[in-house]
């Protein structure tokens, strides 16, 4: 049986520094690795022992698989935060495109949908108050 040691979702970024600052400011991710073409970020919250990493990579760098190089092909990122309304205010301050403001869902989350500086769709959610 194969065991998984790490999962990284890599965003193909036009500007890795701008993108890293966006996620630092929006939801408090911290940098754990930085180079001139790649930044790795991780959560700082309660469950960071269940390591999840967000990679931000120069979209045209030679280390990007050729099939993905130069353009984002799909998927979306979900980030669960403690206060979606605070994240909404930060997203507005950052000038992020707000696709959908915080809205209650049928499955117990309050969710907003935004686009990051690279047009990646990001679902920012927090549990609804009981």
pLDDT tens for each residue of 36-85: 999 999 888 755 555 677 788 888 888 776 767 776 666 778 888 889 99
DSSP code per residue over the chain: -------EEEEEES-HHHHHHHHHHHH--EEEEE-SSEEEEE--STTTTS--EEEEEETT-TTS-TTTTTS--S--EEEE-S-HHHHHHHHHHHT-EEEEEEEE-TTSEEEEEEE-TT--EEEEEEEPP-
pLDDT tens for each residue of 8-46: 788 989 899 999 999 999 989 999 999 999 999 988 875
Average pLDDT, the chain: 85
Global pTM value: 0.75
The CATH code that applies to domain 8-60+75-127 is: 3.10.180.10
For the chain, domain boundaries: 8-60+75-127
Which of 23-27, 73-77, 111-115, 118-122 has the least mean pLDDT? 73-77
């Amino acid at each position: 049986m194969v065991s998984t040691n790490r999962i990284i979702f890599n965003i193909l970024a036009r500007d890795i520094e701008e993108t890293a600052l966006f996620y630092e400011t929006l939801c408090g991710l911290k940098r754990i690795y930085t180079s001139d073409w790649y930044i790795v970020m991780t959560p700082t919250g309660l469950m960071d022992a269940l390591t999840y990493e967000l990679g931000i990579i120069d979209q045209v760098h030679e280390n990007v698989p050729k099939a993905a190089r130069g353009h984002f092909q799909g998927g979306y990122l979900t980030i669960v935060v403690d206060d979606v309304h605070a994240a909404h205010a930060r997203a507005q301050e950052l000038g992020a495109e707000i696709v959908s403001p915080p809205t209650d869902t049928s499955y117990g989350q309050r969710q907003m949908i935004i686009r990051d500086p690279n047009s990646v769709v990001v679902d920012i959610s927090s549990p609804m108050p009981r």
